Amino acid sequence: MSLRKHTLLWVILLLYLVLGTLFAVYTPAWQAPDEPAHYNYVRQLAMGHWPVMELGDYDEAYKNEVIGSGFAPQYDVSVITYEDWQPPLYYLLLTPVFWLTNGSLLALRLVSLLLGAGVVALAYGVAWRVFAEDRWLAGGTAVFVAFIPQHLAILASVNNDALAELLIAAILFLLVARIAMQPRHWVLLGVLLGLGLLTKGTVYPVTAVIGIALLWRYWRDWRGLIQTGLWAFVPAFLLGSLWWGRNIILYGGLDILGKATHDAVVVNQPRTADLLAQVGLGGAIQQLVRTTFNSFWGQFGWMALPMLNPGWLYPLLWLFTAVAFMGLLRHWQQRTTPDNQPALILFSLFLLTLAVHLVYNVTFIQHQGRYLFPALIPIGVGAMVGVMAWIRPFTPRWPILQQLVPIGLALALITLDVWALFRI
């Protein structure tokens, strides 16, 4: 991308890196979800040990005691290892940094932050491709992805979400291209998917998204569908099989992801059945929706620090969400382009990510909005399209309005970021 043509993106990236660095520096050690467990995965690799999920890796009572103490120095965080079942790519990437910096938590956080910069840039690129080089809509999407407080906090911590989101974003960037994809593009797509399978389970729904895109492009061309599917899925399968085979050998049976072993180890994790017994179905659904929404925008630490003061903040975010959603419906009803494939790709990823979140919460209480971040680019595109739909009738007379959307959103979210970092 040329510097002049995409000045807005470069400004967004600069602001993202500055704010993200502030989050990385000023967030107390371990005060990000699961950060000790992710850090300890890297530490084990750096010491020459390959992590294995086993009994004793998860102690709910000890974890709560440590968190409640604010990670007081008398507690040993090195025993918090319940992420040992995760695929290894993110942690392997951070291992040399661990060696070079003697295990500096800040250095590892900054690597994640740099990966997040790629997510922001690709969010811009996806919107740019989908909406015919509309730089203001693309800029608004990048702003949304870069400056949501909870997302910024996660990307400025040690967490494999950063690499997983980067690979998902790269796959979306290829899928929404308006050019005829050559075999090399599909092979690259397969390699990116395979790397995602070696990074985190949140990438797996993208497999279905690629399948949907293939069906859309090659409907009634079964030969082309099979041939292109092989270009895409064989590299992904070969890369993923490295991890699946290891897990079958290590954990036995067909536990290719290690998840069955994980679920057996985290038996004391809060379960939805207990919540249903306490508050009933209606109360459980209400809690799921409220906490997921609140923590999508910002509920910091280990979900202990919501943005409740001022009390109007979450209602205002609900209002913004409603306005964006209604505008998105308005845009869809008034659309003039016959090409629905990009919308199908983005909407499919959102629905699949939401479904995974809901299914996981059938068993465990995990009402965390960050589990929707694998679909943050589709959400951001949808939000910006929805907001732009309301102002578009006025832009012929006042063209500056479309520029004010990303600028105004950036000012609002950056203010919220700074306030959340230093006041919560």
Predicted confidence (pLDDT) per residue in 123-164, tens digit: 999 999 998 878 999 999 999 999 999 999 999 999 999 999
- Mean pLDDT computed over 395-422: 94
Banded model confidence at residue 424, pLDDT cuts 50, 70, 90: confident
In a domain, 316, yes or no: yes
Owning domain of residue 228 = 7-423
Spell out the residues 6+ positions from residue 202 whose beta carbon is closer than 8 angstroms to its own. Answer: 161, 164, 168, 353, 356, 371, 374
In a domain, 258, yes or no: yes
Task: Give percent of the chain with pLDDT exceeding 70.
Answer: 98
Output the six-digit token pair for 329.
């419906």
Spell out the residues 6+ positions from residue 91 whose beta carbon is closer than 8 angstroms to its own. Answer: 38, 41, 42, 45, 160
Digit-coded pLDDT (tens) for 294-326 = 999 999 999 999 999 999 999 999 999 999 999
Q: What are phi and psi of 271, to 5 degrees?
A: -115, 150
Amino acid 180: pLDDT:
74
Which residues pair with residue 364 across a beta bridge? 271
Which amino acid, 213? Answer: A
Banded model confidence at residue 179, pLDDT cuts 50, 70, 90: confident
As a whole number of angstroms, the distance between CA 161 and CA 203 comes to: 10
User: Would you give the DSSP letter of residue 200?
Assistant: -
| Residue pair 60/269 in contact by the 8 Å Cβ criterion | yes
As a whole number of angstroms, the distance between CA 151 and CA 145 comes to: 7
As a whole number of angstroms, the distance between CA 160 and CA 167 comes to: 11
Residues 91, 96, 100, 106: is their CA dihedral positive or negative? Answer: negative
- Mean pLDDT computed over 237-264: 94
- Mean pLDDT computed over 17-26: 98
Digit-coded pLDDT (tens) for 71-108 = 999 999 999 999 999 999 999 999 999 999 999 999 99
As a whole number of angstroms, the distance between CA 111 and CA 108 comes to: 5
Banded model confidence at residue 2, pLDDT cuts 50, 70, 90: low
In a domain, 276, yes or no: yes
Structurally, the chain folds into a number of domains equal to 1
Length of the chain counted residue by residue: 424
In a domain, 375, yes or no: yes
- Angle at which helix 341-363 crosses helix 161-175, to 10 degrees, equals 150
Amino acid 3: pLDDT:
61
As a whole number of angstroms, the distance between CA 212 and CA 344 comes to: 8
Amino acid 133: pLDDT:
77
In a domain, 1, yes or no: no
Banded model confidence at residue 251, pLDDT cuts 50, 70, 90: very high
As a whole number of angstroms, the distance between CA 129 and CA 123 comes to: 10
Banded model confidence at residue 340, pLDDT cuts 50, 70, 90: confident
Q: Which residue has the higher pLDDT, 355 or 341?
A: 355
Check whether 6 has a pLDDT greater than 90: no
As a whole number of angstroms, the distance between CA 402 and CA 413 comes to: 17
User: Which of 94-103, 145-154, 170-179, 191-200 bottoms out in mean pLDDT, i.e. has the lowest?
Assistant: 170-179
Q: What is the mean pLDDT of the chain?
A: 94
| Residue pair 303/33 in contact by the 8 Å Cβ criterion | yes
Banded model confidence at residue 337, pLDDT cuts 50, 70, 90: low
End-to-end Cα distance, the chain: 38
Q: Which residue in 63, 135, 71, 141 sits closest to 376, CA to CA?
A: 141
Amino acid 267: pLDDT:
81
In a domain, 335, yes or no: yes
Spell out the residues 6+ positions from residue 232 whose beta carbon is closer than 8 angstroms to its own. Answer: 186, 187, 189, 190, 193, 210, 214
In a domain, 359, yes or no: yes
DSSP string, 131-168: TTT-HHHHHHHHHHHHH-HHHHHHHTSS-THHHHHHHH
- Angle at which helix 183-197 crosses helix 161-175, to 10 degrees, equals 160
Check whether 178 has a pLDDT greater than 80: no
